[in-house]
Structure 1
Amino acid sequence: MKFDTSLIDARKETMIKNGFWKNRTIEHFFKQALETQPDKTAIVAYTVDGSKHEPVRLSYRQLNERIDSIAKSLIRLGIQRSDVVSFQIPNSWEFIAISLACARIGAVANPLMPIFRDRELSYMLKFLQSKIFIVPSVYKNFNYEAMAERLLPTIDSLQHIVVLGGEGENSVDKRLLADTSAAPLVADPVKPNDILLLLFTSGTTGEPKAVMHTSNTLLAALDGFMDSLELKDSEIILGASPMAHLTGYGYLAMLPIVLNSTTVVMDSWAPNIALQIIKDEAVTFSMASSPFVQDMCNATEKGAPRSPQFTKFCCAGAPIPPIVIERAHKIMNLTVCSAWGMTENGAITITEPTMALEKSSISDGKAIPGIELKIVDGNDNELPQGETGRLLVRGASQCVGYYKKPELNALTDDDWFDSGDLAFMDQDGYIRINGRSKDIVIRGAENIPVVEIENLLYQHPAIASVAIVGFPDERLGERACAFVTLKEGARFSFEEMIQYLTEKKVAKQYFPEKLEIRSDLPRTPSGKLQKFMLREEAKSFQLD
C-alpha cells in the first residue's frame, strides 16, 4: 500500500529538532527489555469470557519467540512491507504479539473493534485492501469465524482468514505459531516515520475514518503521558479497556513495552473478577473510561477485594462526574487522573497525580509535553481564559492524516487541528471539555450549557447516566431533551427533573423540555457517548 507522507515530511524537521520525534520504534524498546531483563514477565493474559481464569504468563524471552514465529508466518503467507494486517480479536497476548510482529516485518497493524459486523467490516477491509483477517472463533457468543468466511469471497484483496481458538488448518496455532525453526527472521522492520498503525475513528460523529499513526507520533504521545504520570518500569498495568481502540492499543498494549514493564490482560470486563486480578497480580495502574471506575467502586462497596498497590488510574473518553473521583479515592484509595484525547492524537491533556483531587473533577487536564492548545471563536480568534470556544491542538502526537481522505485532515496552514470539541481553559492551563461543536443546543439564541446541566442531573440519586441533545422547534430553533438511564430500582419523572433543577437554582431557560428514559445510552466500546445517534433520534421529537 502507498500512503500520503506529505504531513510527515512537512513536520519532520521541526519535530526532530525540538526533540519530540526521537526516531525510535516499538522494536527498539522490546529489544531493550530482551537484552536487559529477558526473564521478566511481559504479559499475564486472563480469559474471562468463557470463564477460563488460569492465565497465560509470558516472559519477554517467551514473548519474543512467539513474535518471531508470527512474523515468519506472516511473511510466508505473503505479507510484505506496508501491507495491512487486520485483526478483530479481544485483549490477549496474541493481540500484543501480532501487533509487535507487524512492526518487526514492516507491516501495518489494523486492530478492529469486536463490535463490528459484516457491514462495517466489508467496508473497512475493502477500504484498507487488507490481505489477512484474524478473528476469534467465538467471542461473547458470536461466531466470528463464520462471519469472516462469509466476507472472504466478497473482498478481492483478502487472501487469508486466521482463527484464534480455531480447530482447523486456519487456526492461529497452525497458521501463525507453527514456525519454530531456528532460521533467522529476514525482515525489514518498520521505520520511525513509516505508517505503523491504522485505526478507524470510534464513531462519535457517524463517519469512520482510518487514522494513520507512525512510531514517532505514537511514541510522542506515550512519552508525554509517562512523564506526566511518573510511570516506571516497575508498573504492573491492567489492560481491560479494548486494545483495538487507541486507549487500549497505545496505553495498555504498547506503553508497558516502552516501559519494559508488565501488562495484565483481560479479554472481557467483569468488575469483580478485575478487582481479584488486581489484587492477585499487584496491579499498580490502569486506564479506561469512567464507567470502569464506577463499576469497581460499586463492586468494592459490595465486598470485592481491595488492593493497596492499585493507586493510580487514568480516566479518559468522557468527562468524569465529580462524585466518581470522590468515591474512588474514598472507597479504593485510588487516585483518578482525568485526561482528554482522540484517536487522531492520543491523550494530549492530563491531570498529574499530585493535582488529581483538586483538578480531575473540574478539568480534563493540561497539555502534555510536546502539545500546544488554544481556544478560538468562530472566526479563529483566540479567546481569553474562562471563555468557551473551539479547541485547537498542535503537536508531536498528531496523526499524519486519514488514509485516502486527505481532504478531512482538518489542519490549518500552521498545523492546528480542529478537535471538534468545545472547551475553556483556566488560569493554570487546565482545560474543560464543554461538549462537541455539534452538540451546542441554541434555544432562542441562548446557548444552553449542556455539560453543566448534564453534571447537575448526574448528581441526582436516581440517575446513572445522562446526555442532553437538541431537537428542532419552529419558534425557538431548538429545545433540549435529556436522555437518562436510571440506577437499579430507581424512578424518575419529568416533574422530578424540573423540581430538582429548580432547587439547584438553574436558570429556567436551561431546563430540558423533554425527558427520555432509556435502559442504556449508545456508546462506543471505549465508553464514549455517541450523541449523534441521540440527535438523529431527537429530530422527530415534538413537545408533548
Structure 2
Amino acid sequence: MRFPAPDPVRAARYRAVGYWRDATIPALIAASAARTPDKTAVRDASGASLSYAALMEQSSRLAGYLAERGVGKGDVVTVCLPNWVQTVVAFVAAMRLGAAVNPVPVTYGRADLAYVLGKCDSRALFVAAKFRSVDFTEVLEQLGSDTLANRAVVRIGEGARTIGTPWDDARGHAALGAEPPIAADDTVAVLFTSGTESRAKGAVHTHNTILFGERALSSALQIGADDIAFMASPISHTTGFMHGVIMTLTLGGTLSLLDIFEGARAARQLAEHRCSWTMGATPFLADIADALEKSGERLPHLRYFMCGGAPIPEALVRRAGLVGLRVMSIYGATESPPHTVVHPEDPPQNAWTTDGRPLAGIEVRIVSEGRGLPVGEVGEEWSRGPNTALGYLGEPELTAKDFDSDGWYHSGDLARRLPDGSLRIVGRLKDIIVRGGQNISAREVEDYLAGHPSVQSVAVVGVPHPRLGETSCAVVVPRPNASLTLHDVTEFLLAKGVARFKLPERLEIWPSLPLNPSGKIQKYVLRKQLTETEGGTKA
C-alpha cells in the first residue's frame, strides 16, 4: 500500500525542536511492559483483563499468526471490534509487524465494510462473530469470497456461519520471531472520518503524528502512568483509539473499556475501576450525570470528563458540576487530533463558552478568503502542527483540497478566536440555513434550544422550501416525561430575543438523533429523512 509521505521540510523542523522523535508506538508500549510487567494494562466490562506482560505475550502470538498469513510491514489490518480487551491485542499485534491499523466501528454495514477493505487493500480483518443485533459472519458471507480472498479473517465468538479463524486459534500461534525494523515516520494508522458530510475518507497517521498529539494532550492535563482511563467511546474511532488506547499504554497507565454504553452501567464501572479521566460526547456526559443524580453516588477519583464532538450546553456542564464532574471541552478532528482543550487552570465556564486553547506546538488560524482574521471575527478554522495527518489514503484531490501546501488543515468549521487565545466553534461552513437570502446559524438556534427544560438533545437543519429556498426544522429528543410543541419552541426563543426569521418552522419529536461513533449528530441523515417525509409539526 502506498501512503502519503511526510513533507521533508516540516519533518526536519519538527525533529529539530523535538516534536518528532525516533520512538514508535509498539516500542513505547514494550517499554511500559518492561517497567511494570504485572500492572494491569487493559480491562473491560466482561471482567477480562491483561497485564502489560500478558498483552505483550498475546500480541506477539497474534502477530506470529498474521505474519504466517502474509501480513507484514506496510500492509493494512482492519479491526471491526467493540471495546474489548481482544481489540487492544489486535491493535498491538498489527503495529508490532509494522502494519497500519485500520479501526472501523461495529456500526458499519456491509457496504461500509466492503468500501474500507477495498480502499485499504486490507490484508487481514478482525470481527466479532456476533455483537448486539448483528451477526458479522452473515455480513461476511454477504460480502462474498471475492471480497475476502487473500485476506486473513479472525473472528471472536461464534455466529450463524463458520468464516475465518477463531480468535483462540490465532492467539495460540507461536510467538513472532524477530520484529521488523519500524521507523517513527512509518504509517501506523488509517482512520476513516466519521462521514457526517459525505463518504468517509481515510486519514493517514504515522507514529510521530499520533505520539506528538498524545504527548501534548497528556502534558496539558498532567495525565501519566498513575492514571486510569475510562473509554466508552469506541476505540475503533479516533477518540478511543488515540486518546484511550495509545495515550494510556504508551504512558504506562491502565485502560478501562465499556462496550455497550448505558449511563448507570458506565457510572458503576467508573467507580469500581477508580478511573481518573474519561472522554466522550455530550450524550455520554448527560447520561452519566443523570445516573449519578439518581443514585446519589459520586466519582471521587475522576479528575476530568473531556467532552467533544458537539456543543456542550451550559446547563449540562452546571448539572454535571453538581454531581462532581469537571467538564473540559476538547476540539479536534480525525485529521488533526486533538488541537485545542480547556486546560485545568482555565476558568470552569470555559467548558461551555469555549472549545479550549491550542496545545503547545500546534498553530491555529481563523481565515476568510485566505486572510487571517483578528480576535472575535468568524471564519474557517485552520490548524497546523506535528499532529496533523499526512493526507487521505488514495485521495490526492481531496488531500489537496483539505491540506494546503503550507501544511494547514482546513477544517470546514466556522470559529472565532477569543481574547484569552481560546477557540469557539460556531458551526460548519455548510451548516448555514439560507432562508429567503438570510443566513441562519443552526448552531446558534441549537444553543438556545439546548437550554429549554424539556429538551434532552436537539439538532436544527435546513429543509427545502419552494419559495424561500430553505426553512429550518428543529429535531428534538425530549427529556423523560416531557412534551413540547412548536408553539412552545417559538415562545421560548422569542423570550430569549431570537430574531423571528431564525425561528424553526417545523418541529420533529424523535426518540433519538442519528449519531456517528464519536457522538456527532449526522445531519446529512436528518436532512435526507426530513426531505422524504412531511411529518412533524409545522408552523
TM class by smaller structure = over 0.9
Alignment of 1:324 with 2:323, yes or no, is no
Match of 2:371 among 378, 381, 405: 381
Paired residue type of 1:160: A
Corresponding position of 2:420: 428
Q: Distance in 2 between matches of 1:189 and 1:489?
A: 60
Corresponding position of 1:406: 396
Q: Distance in 2 between matches of 1:234 and 1:137?
A: 35
- In structure 2, the gaps of 5 or more residues are none
Question: Residues 504-523 of structure 1 correspond to what in structure 2 (within 5 A)?
Answer: 504-523=496-515
Paired residue type of 2:15: I
Q: 1:119/1:449 Cα in 2 relative to 1: closer, same or farther (>3 Å)?
A: closer
Match of 1:146 among 123, 131, 138: 138
The 8 Å contact of residues 137 and 163 in structure 2, kept in 1 or not, is answered as no
Q: Give the secondary structure class of the aligned counterpart of 1:313.
A: strand
RMSD: 1.9
Corresponding position of 1:50: none
Paired residue type of 2:355: D
Corresponding position of 2:4: 4
Q: Distance in 2 between matches of 1:174 and 1:351?
A: 43
- In structure 1, the gaps of 5 or more residues are 48-54
TM-aligned CA deviation for residue 8 of structure 1: 4.0
Q: Distance in 2 between matches of 1:158 and 1:463?
A: 50
Q: Deviations for 1:122-143, whole angstroms, at most 9, x for unmatched residues?
A: 1211221112211111100321
TM-aligned CA deviation for residue 11 of structure 1: 2.7
Q: Distance in 2 between matches of 1:320 and 1:169?
A: 43
Q: Give the secondary structure class of the aligned counterpart of 1:488.
A: coil
Alignment of 1:243 with 2:232, yes or no, is no
Q: Distance in 2 between matches of 1:21 and 1:350?
A: 21
The 8 Å contact of residues 4 and 204 in structure 2, kept in 1 or not, is answered as no
Match of 2:170 among 155, 161, 176: 176
Q: 1:141/1:449 Cα in 2 relative to 1: closer, same or farther (>3 Å)?
A: closer
Corresponding position of 2:258: 266
Q: Using structure 1 for the length normalisation, give the TM-score.
A: 0.94
Corresponding position of 1:46: 45
Alignment of 1:390 with 2:389, yes or no, is no
Paired residue type of 1:392: W
Corresponding position of 1:25: 24
Q: Deviations for 1:479-529, whole angstroms, at most 9, x for unmatched residues?
A: 222121111221111111111111112222221222222222211022101
Q: Distance in 2 between matches of 1:360 and 1:209?
A: 30
Q: Distance in 2 between matches of 1:172 and 1:44?
A: 21
Q: Distance in 2 between matches of 1:407 and 1:387?
A: 30
The alignment-based identity, stated in percent, is: 32
Match of 2:332 among 322, 341, 354: 341
TM-aligned CA deviation for residue 171 of structure 1: 4.2
The 8 Å contact of residues 104 and 189 in structure 1, kept in 2 or not, is answered as no
State how many pairs are aligned: 532
Q: Deviations for 1:257-289, whole angstroms, at most 9, x for unmatched residues?
A: 121110111122122122122111111111111
The 8 Å contact of residues 24 and 208 in structure 2, kept in 1 or not, is answered as yes
Corresponding position of 2:521: 529
Q: 1:322/1:337 Cα in 2 relative to 1: closer, same or farther (>3 Å)?
A: same
Corresponding position of 1:104: 96
Paired residue type of 1:177: R
Q: Give the secondary structure class of the aligned counterpart of 2:171.
A: coil
The 8 Å contact of residues 318 and 527 in structure 1, kept in 2 or not, is answered as yes
Corresponding position of 1:437: 429
Paired residue type of 2:340: T
Q: Distance in 1 between matches of 2:139 and 2:516?
A: 21
Q: Distance in 2 between matches of 1:259 and 1:204?
A: 32
Question: Residues 33-432 of structure 1 correspond to what in structure 2 (within 5 A)?
Answer: 33-47=32-46, 55-155=47-147, 157-166=149-158, 170-180=164-174, 185-303=177-295, 305-331=297-323, 333-355=324-346, 357-377=348-368, 379-409=369-399, 410-432=402-424
Question: Residues 433-512 of structure 1 correspond to what in structure 2 (within 5 A)?
Answer: 433-512=425-504
The 8 Å contact of residues 86 and 110 in structure 1, kept in 2 or not, is answered as yes
Q: Distance in 1 between matches of 2:177 and 2:499?
A: 68
Q: Distance in 2 between matches of 1:172 and 1:94?
A: 12
Q: Distance in 1 between matches of 2:192 and 2:149?
A: 19
Corresponding position of 1:51: none
The 8 Å contact of residues 325 and 360 in structure 1, kept in 2 or not, is answered as yes
Q: Give the secondary structure class of the aligned counterpart of 2:332.
A: strand
Greater CA drift, 385-394 or 399-408: 385-394
The 8 Å contact of residues 154 and 167 in structure 2, kept in 1 or not, is answered as no
Q: 1:111/1:305 Cα in 2 relative to 1: closer, same or farther (>3 Å)?
A: same
Q: Using structure 2 for the length normalisation, give the TM-score.
A: 0.94
